[in-house]
Structure 1
Amino acid sequence: MSNMELKPNMSIISVDDMNVTSVLSGRHEKIVMDHNVDHDEAVILALGYKQEFKREFSLLTTFGVSFSVLGLLPSIASTLWYSLAYSGNAGITWAYLIGMIGVMGVACSMAEISSAFPTSGGLYYATAMLAPPKYKAILSWIVGWSNYFVQVTGAPSVAYGGASMILALKQIMDDSYVYQTWHCYLLTVGLTFLAAIIASLPTKWIAWINSASTILNLIFLFVSWIVVLGGNNRVEQGLPKFNSNKIAWGIDNLTDWPDGISILMSFMAVIWTMSGFDSPFHLAEECSNAQVATPRAIVLTASVGGLLGFVFQISMAYTIVSVDDAVNADLGQPYISYLAQILDTPRVLCLASFAIILAFTMTFACMIAASRVLFSYSRDNCFPLSRYWCHINPYTQTPVNAVWLNWFFGCLLCLLMFGGVAIDAIFSVGAIGSFISFTIPTLLRITYARSFFKPGPWNLGRYSYISGWLAVSFTTLMIPILCFPQYRGADNTAEEMNWTVLVYYGSMFLCIAWYYIYAHKVYDGPKSNLDKSTLIEDENEEYQIIDSVVSKGGVVNYASNEVNDEKA
């Protein structure tokens, strides 16, 4: 009989009856817990993991984190280098809409997968469960590291955008100020340091802070939209209040590529801006009713964020005075340059301050998601010294060690700014890494695993394959496009080179080489971290446990896989 302590209340979870595919599936095992188990805990146990976080996130607060990671205003401001600077106003109007169609396909497919595998490991765990057994380790390894590259580059790239805006404002206010790269580096490091402190707080505090930041996001975005439309000074400059439709929706190809390619290249902006919609997946173990709330938060983030982002960018397209001047101004930050074209200095300072504040809230939201990814992958021995990064701080009940390791890596990544345009690689690495990590499990879901995939309570039904093929087609098209430089031939100098190829594929080459040289000896995909004493296989042993508990006047509960209709 099991040597576990028998208490008045016991719960027995039959893994094969939970309608999930997990590392414990097909082994006819049952999990015995010495307390009452609710549905959320039963699911995570059936997936092979202990319930280590407090489930203090709801649909609203999970959406709050992902919407903060989305950070529409600072994301739009930071990525104008790719939308406006590649194809002009078309990049922030109709090209953005086309890109959003592909992004929504990705988001819906991911939401369905998250309902089936509501773990912090997210796409990495799903890949291992959906892949052929022979390839589950290497495919999950590639997906895991690709997704980690997304997470670890998120906070420093956002903080870098915020620091750039701060220094651009300094140039507006002080004509004698001369921009220095080390100023931007130290400011970026300082912003990420403060963000790491917030990301180390208890879950309940983080949920409250992100709810507040979501409200700020919506208020600042709305106020900025009103000021841009109603408070611009175009008329005082002898211009009409708004641009014509031809100007607002027209292509200004600022690349050396044909118009069609320049439009595809501008998708980098919408891809990076919308990349935060996967955050709820990584918070699934801290969310109540995770199998329903997590996918809803993903779809809500992508759809609401996409719509609001489009509305705001339309206002920019109809008010911008000169695309070329906004991109090439001495301020070095297109959004600040754009504001300076249409607003007086006090209003420029006000709206720029909104974007900077939201860049900071976005930074710590990115750090929260990144720490959960590092924690979950380390739980399966995917990283060197994994036992330290999967440690839960006993005071905050959050993975504090993971937060600070990510902060350290971010400081190293920001050294790329001393290489000039090489810093741009941390934006495109986030886009490529996310698309590779999204594509592999989605492709497996609609091909190899279509016969045995067990959908969760939130699923797309007959539309799964339409959404899946849309997502895979879009990501397959965009992965090579994201590596294109703005200029080609003699114009593509070392300073103008797109260094994504080296930064992402070079890093991934090292990760795969490490897997085949050593890591394959210790890593075989996701593994359960449940105590062996909680697992039983023999029916007689199960009945002995039940008899022992009942004889003490206790109750044995069988965890159910059914989700309350009201919740679903």
Structure 2
Amino acid sequence: MVGYNSFLGNVSAISSLAWACSGIVFAAASLNNSDFTATAGQQFGLYIGVLVVCGAFCAYGTEIFARLQTPSVVLNVILALVTIIGLPIAKRHELNTAAFTFGGFVNLTSWPSGFSFLLSFLAPVWTICSFDCAVSLSEEATNAATAVPQAIVGAIGSAGILGTVILVILALCMGPDVAAVNDDALGQPLAYIYLHAFGQKGSLVIWSFMCIARCAVPLGALCFADPINYSAIK
């Protein structure tokens, strides 16, 4: 059962990440040209391209991938700081109220509100779905009995804290019209929030780096899904 669930999880996770990467890249194109809207065929083609490139990279470029880990982490930290610090400054005259930020609830689905609330947990569950990477590397870790549990707790704990802060900032800066954020033609609510905070040029610069960071996610997930690559990455 563990192997079966792990297989399904790796297949669905990598596919989902590659599809999301495709949408984020095309959102950058839409930020650059408001008249551009990607077709389903274009999105699917880029999705397949991302999977092929990631597969080839993991098969033949693990040493390069190992060197890219630190720059990738630094880039993600910078993007998080841009969101946490930059967004409130850019939207300082248009911030939502505390009541809306912490107590507002808008259900844009056809599901009952209670069930929609439970479905919303599918998004943050991504922050803890890959803690098994530390377990998979335990045979190569020094003092694994202590280091691996610390890695699991530290990764999940830091992701939970950082994720909560970012969600609060987004709720504070997104504006009161949730439907407008969700239904915008960009197809990416975060890109919509950046666009209305930093303008077209500023949001395009930030989103370009977001594309780079996002492309590294399916690559990392695919590499860590392959036990053969663990030693090379380490």
User: Which TM-score tier does this pair reach, normalised by the shorter chain?
Assistant: 0.7 to 0.9
Specify whether residues 216 and 191 from structure 1 end up closer, same or farther in structure 2 by C-alpha distance, changes over 3 A only. Answer: same
For 1:344, what is the secondary structure of its paired residue?
A: helix
State yes or no: 1:212 paired with 2:71: yes
2:197 alignment partner, one of 342, 361, 365? 342
Structure 2 unaligned spans of 5+? none
Question: For residue 149 of structure 1, what is the aligned residue in structure 2?
Answer: 8
- Is the contact between residue 225 and residue 315 of structure 1 (CA under 8 Å) also seen in structure 2? yes
Measure, in 2, the Cα distance between the counterparts of 1:213 and 1:172: 23
Tell me: CA distance 1:223–1:242, structure 2 relative to 1, closer, same or farther (3 Å): same
Quick one: which amino acid aligns to residue 51 of structure 2?
A: T
Counterpart CA distance in 1 for 2:14 and 2:111 is 31
With over 3 angstroms needed to count, the CA separation of the structure-2 counterparts of 1:190 and 1:258, relative to structure 1, is: closer
Q: How far is 1:248 from its partner?
A: 0.9
Alignment partners' CA distance in 2, 1:362 and 1:279: 14
Distance of 1:293 and 1:349 partners within structure 2: 40
Is structure 2 residue 161 aligned with structure 1 residue 307? Answer: yes
Tell me the TM-score normalized by structure 2. Answer: 0.86
1:192 to 37, 43, 51: 51
Change (3 A) 1:353 1:272: same
Question: Counterpart in 2 of 1:259?
Answer: 113
Q: Which residue of 1 aligns with 2:220?
A: 365
* Shift in alpha-carbon separation, 1:354–1:309, aligned structure 2, 3 A: farther
| Structure-2 residue corresponding to 1:354 | 209
Structure 1: state its 5+ residue gaps: 1-141, 236-240, 373-391, 400-568
**Aligned residue identity for 1:282:** S
- Residues 397 and 252 (structure 1 numbering): CA distance in 2 closer, same or farther, change over 3 Å? closer
Residue 130 of structure 2 corresponds to residue 293 of structure 1: no
Aligned length: 231
The residue that corresponds to 2:178 in the other structure is 323
One-letter identity of the residue aligned with 2:194 = L
Displacement after TM superposition at 1:203 (Å) = 6.3
Structure with the bigger RCO (C-alpha within 8 Å, sep 6+) is 2
Between Structure 1 and Structure 2, the one with more helix by share is: 2
Which amino acid in 2 is paired with 1:230? Answer: I
- 1:244 alignment partner in structure 2: 97
Alignment of 1:314-463 (within 5 A): 314-321=168-175, 322-372=177-227
In structure 2, what residue type is equivalent to 1:146?
N
Query: Does 2:87 match 1:228?
Result: yes
SS in 2 for 1:254: coil
SS of the residue corresponding to residue 242 of structure 1 reads coil
- Is the contact made by 1:152 and 1:370 (CA closer than 8 Å) also made in structure 2? no
* Residues 144 and 285 of structure 1, relative CA distance in 2, 3 Å threshold: same
Shift of 1:209: 2.4
Displacement, 1:201? Answer: 5.3
**Superposed CA offset, 1:521-558 (max 9, x none):** xxxxxxxxxxxxxxxxxxxxxxxxxxxxxxxxxxxxxx
- Report how far residue 319 of structure 1 moved: 0.8
Alignment CA distance shift 1:311-1:162 (3 Å): same
Residues 297 and 199 of structure 1, relative CA distance in 2, 3 Å threshold:
farther
Larger gyration radius, structure 1 or structure 2:
1
Deviation at 1:278, TM superposition (A): 2.4
Partner of residue 443, structure 1: none
Percent identity over the alignment is 26
On the 8 A contact 2:66/2:232 being kept in 1, the answer is no
Cα distance in 2 for residues equivalent to 1:222 and 1:368? 27
CA distance in 2: counterparts of 1:290 and 1:202, whole angstroms:
27
